[in-house]
Structure formats: structure tokens, C-alpha cells
Amino acid sequence: MKIVMVGAGYVGLVSGACFADFGHEVVCIDKQESKIAALKRGEIPIFEPGLSELVRSNAAAGRLSFTTDLVGPVSKADAVFIAVGTPSRRGDGFADLSYVYAATREIAQALSRYTVIVTKSTVPVGTGDEVERIIRELRPDAEFAVVSNPEFLREGAAIEDFKRPDRIVIGAEDERARQMMAEVYRPLYLNSAPILNTSRRTAELTKYAANAFLATKITFINEMADLCEQVGANVQDVARGMGLDNRIGSKFLHAGPGYGGSCFPKDTLALIKTAQDYGTPARIVETVAAVNDQRKRAMGRKVIAACGGAVRGKTIAVLGLTFKPNTDDMRDAPSIAIVTALQDAGATVRAFDPEGMEQAKATLPAGVVYCSDAYECVTGADAAVIVTEWNIFRALDLDRVKETMAAPLLIDLRNVYRPDQVRAKGFTYLDVGRGTQAPEAGTKTAAA
């Protein structure tokens, strides 16, 4: 099949490369000329494990190409996927659909035969109706159908998720379009991936419901972690005890600094707005978003408290900046609020991230000292904070870290270390909710 992917970001590029790998002929289109120029040179503008090889091999095989010109490829396409961003709109937090509608208008002008237009972007319920209305208005002569096919891939494991998805959701109102979608995903049908055929509106809402539920799970365990700290219980054991119940499941029950990233924060907000607009407020999700929002800066206060209540004139090393490991994505990363809180309190922040440095420089406030590795980062620091659980931070040479730091204080916001082992090395060690909080900041404590 001839497939066009409008938007070559995390979702568009991964989906495009995977569809090409299925054997389809794929053209990825993006407005950003520099991105397309880089892709044509074989350079991948984002960090995603395995993507580089997948793009290169499919481009070499002639199945995957890149362009800024939408008209030519769309006029020949069987299916056109919209994979542009839907960030939070400034002011009210609703999904900003301006990119989706701009892409829709461009696609409409280029249609020349029956084409399925598929929204892969996460869009509020009813957006497919509006996409259809716009195309009908601009091109009353066009033969087309609008389908919702939300994407559930996770950055960092995107290719695996795309090729072996838990499910594929296809929301279509038109049988011909549904058959085209079956053809697009045929290799996955053969792999027996569960395909859920729904109405278009149901598909749109399913994506938001799934993300809001995952955000709720994270926020729930984070609140349990706070309670564990007060009562001397261990949140990892609580999570295990909960997660072994099949009705609950163990995933997304890791206490930490709060969820971030390009999806959960904006998608929870958009769902909240949609639910309010339809007169059925999603109160649980409203609370989740508010609790999570406050948590990120509270992690900054936790660090300050660990430093004895003040960080003016102190140096804090922040290890990990991206919202999770194995991505360079800084969108809504907890590190932003944590670094800001520390700087507001007068600290000098040194920072290191294995893949996110470039994006961090464009995102974090000025004044951060960027370092080239974890050891340079902790040099002379009064405290080190693990914010993102990259593998390299799980296996630090703690003796070397202690030697280079001004004071051996480690605040592990991802619970990657065993408290007894770190304390045995002479560190003051704080984590999130494992009942192992140091009684007094800045002092060595006995192994738990």
C-alpha cells in the first residue's frame, strides 16, 4: 500500500519506518526542512533505540522516503496518517488542534482518489468529525473516509510496541476504510495482535481513557509512597503486594517524582476539559493532574530539606533530565520543576543526561551547568539527585562518587539503589517511600 505519514516526530517516524518494514511504500512528510534534510542524509533527529537501523534499511530498500512536499505523495496515497503534535493549548489546557486542522486542509487540497485519512495523533473525541467536515467543505468532490487509529507506543520501546502492540484500535464509520486499515495492519493481524474495531468517537476516547488510567496508577502509588514515608512502610513491597493481584497488575506502580513526558500531562488535561465541556467532569483525573503537578516541585523541596533546609550557595548534581530513560524527550519532564525549585532556592545546579542534553539546554532555565558524564556532574556537589533511572546511574562507582562530592548525600527519586548498600558506603541516602528516610539530613545513618 502507499502510505503517507504527515509529521515525522516520535510517532510519525516510528510508525512510518515500521509500516515500511511491513512492506508498504511510505513517504514521511514534515514541515521542518532541517528535519527532512537530516533524515535524507540518514541522520535520525530523535533518540529512539533501533530506529536508526530501521530507517536506514527501509530507506535503502526504497520503501521509505522523506519530503516536505505534501501534495505529490498525498495525491497517490491509499492512506494518509496525521501524526502531528497536539500539545496543550496555552491558556486553557485543551488539546491544541491547530496542527491537525492545518494538516487536514493541506491534505484536502491534494486528494485525487479514494483515500483513507487516519488520525494517529491523540485527539479529543469529535476531532475526526471535524476533520471530515473540513475536507467535505474544501473538497465536496473528494472520495475519502476519516478513521481514528490512536497510537499507544512508548518512547524508548517504540519499535517493539509498534510491531508487537498490546492492541490496535481502529475507529471507523465506513466498511471500505475498515478494510483498508486491515490491509495496512495485515502483518500484525497475522501475528494475532488484538484488533479492536470501534466507532470513531470510541477510538478517540479510548486513547485518553488509557492514558488517564495509567497516570492515575502512577499518582496513586506516589501518594502511597508519601504515606509509607510517614508510617515507616516500604512502597516497593506495597506495590508488589498490590501488583501480584491480577486485577491490578504490577506495571506503573513505581513511586517516583511524578509523571511527565509528551503524553500524560497534556492528555489528562485535555480529557478533563472534554469531560467538563460535556457536563460530566472527570473528577478522579482532575485530582490526579493536580496531585502530580504539585509533586514535581515538592521533589525540589524534598532535596532542599535533605540539604538541611537551605541550598543557597550549595551545588546540587542532577543525574537524568529526560522524563524517562531511553529517550531524549524533555517535554514536561519532572526535572524541569525540580531544577527550577532548586535554582529558586539559590542552588547552583549541575546536570547530566546521557541523551537529553541538547533538548535540556533548550528547555531548562538558564544557569544550569551541563556536564559530560555523571562523575563530572557530582564533582564538588553538596547533594546528588537521581531524577531519571538511566541504566548508567544504576551502576555508579559509589566510592568514586563519594570522593568527588563535597558531601556524600544521595537522593534517589527512582529507588534504583538498595539503601543499606549505599549507606554502607558512607552516604546519607534518601529514596521515595521505602521507609528508609534518614532521620536527620546530612548525617550518616546505620544500615536499615
Residue 261 cell numbers, joined = 513526558
Buried b / exposed e along 384-407 (16+ C-beta atoms within 10 A):
bbbbbbbeebeebebeebbebbeb
Q: Does residue 9 belong to the site contacting ligand NAD (CB under 6 A)?
A: yes
Q: Does residue 99 belong to the site contacting ligand NAD (CB under 6 A)?
A: yes
Question: Which 133-152 residues touch ligand NAD, going by CB under 6 A?
Answer: 151
> How many whole angstroms separate alpha carbon 415 and alpha carbon 253?
12
Has 28 been annotated as catalytic?
Answer: no
Residue where the block lists cell 496515497: 77
Of residues 289 and 347, the one with the C-beta less far from ligand NAD: 289
Do 448 and 436 meet the contact criterion of CB atoms below 8 Å apart?
A: yes
Contact range with ligand NAD by CB under 6 A, out of 10-18, 276-284, 333-341, 354-362: 10-18
Q: Does residue 122 belong to the site contacting ligand NAD (CB under 6 A)?
A: yes
> How many amino acids of this chain bind ligand NAD (CB under 6 A)?
27
Count CB neighbours of 163 within 10 A.
Answer: 17
Of residues 65 and 122, the one with the C-beta less far from ligand NAD: 122
Question: Which 24-63 residues touch ligand NAD, going by CB under 6 A?
Answer: 29-32, 35
Residue where the block lists cell 521507609: 435
Do 413 and 383 meet the contact criterion of CB atoms below 8 Å apart?
A: no
* DSSP line for 122-190: ---TTHHHHHHHHHHHH-TT--EEEEE------TTSHHHHHHS-S-EEEE-S-HHHHHHHHHHTHHHHH
**Of the candidate residues 3, 27, 80, 103, the single one contacting ligand NAD (CB under 6 A):** 103
Of residues 229 and 267, the one with the C-beta less far from ligand NAD: 267
Residues in contact with ligand NAD, shown as a per-residue x/- string from 272 to 311 under the rule CB under 6 A: ----------------------------------------
Torsion angles phi and psi, residue 402, rounded to 5 = -65, -40
Residue 21 cell numbers, joined = 518494514
Measured between its terminal Cα atoms, the distance across the chain in Å is 60
Q: Which residues pair with 148 in a beta bridge?
A: 119, 171
> How many whole angstroms separate alpha carbon 339 and alpha carbon 348?
9
Count CB neighbours of 114 within 10 A.
Answer: 13
**Of the candidate residues 58, 88, 115, 121, the single one contacting ligand NAD (CB under 6 A):** 121
Q: Does residue 216 belong to the site contacting ligand NAD (CB under 6 A)?
A: no
Choosing from 28, 228, 263, 307, which is the catalytic residue?
Answer: 263
> How many whole angstroms separate alpha carbon 426 and alpha carbon 384?
14
Q: Does residue 153 belong to the site contacting ligand NAD (CB under 6 A)?
A: yes
Of residues 30 and 332, the one with the C-beta less far from ligand NAD: 30
Of residues 326 and 437, the one with the C-beta less far from ligand NAD: 326
Q: Does residue 10 belong to the site contacting ligand NAD (CB under 6 A)?
A: yes
Q: How far is the CB of 295 from ligand NAD (least distance, A)?
A: 21
**Of the candidate residues 212, 263, 351, 422, the single one contacting ligand NAD (CB under 6 A):** 263
**Of the candidate residues 11, 146, 239, 351, the single one contacting ligand NAD (CB under 6 A):** 11
What is the Cα 446 distance to its own chain's centre?
38
Of residues 32 and 340, the one with the C-beta less far from ligand NAD: 32
Judged by DSSP in three states, 257 sits in coil
**Of the candidate residues 18, 24, 39, 86, the single one contacting ligand NAD (CB under 6 A):** 86
**Of the candidate residues 3, 27, 48, 85, the single one contacting ligand NAD (CB under 6 A):** 85
Question: Which 155-184 residues touch ligand NAD, going by CB under 6 A?
Answer: 155
> How many whole angstroms separate alpha carbon 209 and alpha carbon 38?
36
Q: Does residue 262 belong to the site contacting ligand NAD (CB under 6 A)?
A: yes
Of residues 104 and 236, the one with the C-beta less far from ligand NAD: 104
Of residues 123 and 411, the one with the C-beta less far from ligand NAD: 123
Interaction site with ligand NAD (CB under 6 A) = 6-12, 29-32, 35, 83-86, 99, 102-103, 106, 121-122, 151, 153, 155, 262-263
List residues with catalytic annotation: 263
